């Protein structure tokens, strides 16, 4: 199985409105609730690709209970979330149907105690024994040490399990020094890590900081990857209009699934780019449009640099 870690899980609530206007009341035309947080989005996409997934992290309070209830209805995903005393955060996405733009509101998350963090590390060590790969994803909830991902990366490496890290800020800075197999920052996170806004040298610089491979999300321009086998840019055939929320999480699922299948880097990037693009045509994060995925996958251009 593939293990996904979402320390700061969320109940994702998506509202759709005909047009989003500041200082105005809005009539909501549709509402969707989903288990959220980057790792849970990754888990749902992996399951849709046919990979057994175990999802762990923290969940608590009424919103956490609803996350677990909804997760139980997701075929292929095993719930290994750890109960916490605090209440799982909510994220609210408001989709403007006139433009396709999305406005996001993210709560900080529950306060995690030292005892809860210690209990999670023990659960994580147990889950590693059956894992083929691990995704460590998203923000850290209050109370979890800023070096938490570095600790989890080192534990995975000691267990011989390849790990992909997808986070930002100081958590990424410390995590990359623990030498994960892959990191997947977006352009802003990469610039913050390296101090450079030029993606190509910044991606190579990030590799020198400890990651075996660095895959940078360039939004609608695809993915840029610096790896031991070479450097490539993968671009979709054209820009897609829609909701980009969760596109990066689908790219993570593509990279991890291809890694466990033993595919080479161009094939990994092709899958990740196509899944990311197909997510833009899906109504909510953690899903992708199958028709768009098949169309884009056959037209992704992977260029060596």
**DSSP states of 84-143:** -SSPPEEEEEEEETTT--EEEEE---PPPPHHHHHHHHHHHHHHHTT-SEEEEESPPPTT
Give all strands of the β-sheet with 10-17 in edge-to-edge order: 30-36, 10-17, 89-96, 102-106
Determine the Cα–Cα distance for residues 180 and 153; give it in Å rounded to an integer. Answer: 6
Pair of tokens at residue 230: 């070479």
What's the half-sphere exposure (Cβ side, CA atoms, 13 Å) at 272? 35
Residues marked as catalytic: 249
Determine the Cα–Cα distance for residues 271 and 196; give it in Å rounded to an integer. Answer: 27
Determine the Cα–Cα distance for residues 59 and 85; give it in Å rounded to an integer. Answer: 9
Helical packing angle, 187-194 and 199-208, nearest 10°: 60
- Which residue from 238, 237, 276, 239 is spatially nearest to 254, judged by alpha carbons? 276
**DSSP states of 128-186:** HTT-SEEEEESPPPTTS-TTHHHHHHHHHHHTT--EEEE--HHHHHHHHHT--SEE--B
């Amino acid at each position: 199985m593939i293990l996904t870690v979402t320390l700061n899980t969320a109940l994702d609530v998506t509202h759709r409105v005909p047009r989003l206007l500041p200082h105005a009341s809005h009539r909501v035309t549709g509402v969707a609730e989903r288990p959220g947080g980057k790792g849970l989005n990754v888990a749902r996409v992996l399951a849709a690709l046919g990979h057994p997934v175990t999802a762990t992290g923290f969940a608590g309070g009424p919103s956490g209970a609803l996350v677990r209830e909804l997760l139980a209805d997701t075929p292929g995903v095993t719930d290994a979330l750890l109960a916490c005393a605090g209440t799982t955060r909510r994220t609210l996405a408001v989709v403007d149907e006139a433009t396709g733009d999305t406005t996001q509101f993210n709560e900080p998350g529950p306060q995690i105690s030292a005892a809860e963090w210690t209990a999670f590390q023990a659960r994580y060590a147990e889950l590693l024994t059956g894992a083929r790969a691990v995704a460590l994803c998203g923000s850290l909830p209050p109370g979890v040490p800023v070096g938490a991902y570095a600790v989890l990366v080192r534990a995975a490496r000691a267990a011989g399990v390849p790990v992909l890290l997808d986070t930002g800020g100081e958590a990424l800075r410390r995590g990359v020094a623990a030498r994960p197999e892959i990191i997947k920052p977006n352009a802003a996170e990469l610039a913050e890590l390296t101090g450079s806004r030029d993606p190509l040298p910044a991606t190579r610089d990030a590799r020198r900081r400890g990651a075996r491979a660095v895959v940078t999300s360039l939004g609608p321009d695809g993915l840029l990857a610096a790896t031991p086998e070479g450097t490539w840019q993968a671009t979709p055939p054209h820009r897609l209009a829609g909701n980009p929320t969760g596109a990066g999480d689908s790219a993570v699922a593509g990279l991890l699934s291809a890694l466990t299948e033993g595919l080479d880097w161009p094939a990994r990037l092709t899958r990740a780019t196509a899944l990311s693009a197909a997510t833009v045509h899906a109504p909510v994060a953690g899903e992708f449009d199958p028709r768009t995925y098949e169309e884009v996958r056959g037209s992704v251009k992977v260029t060596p640099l």
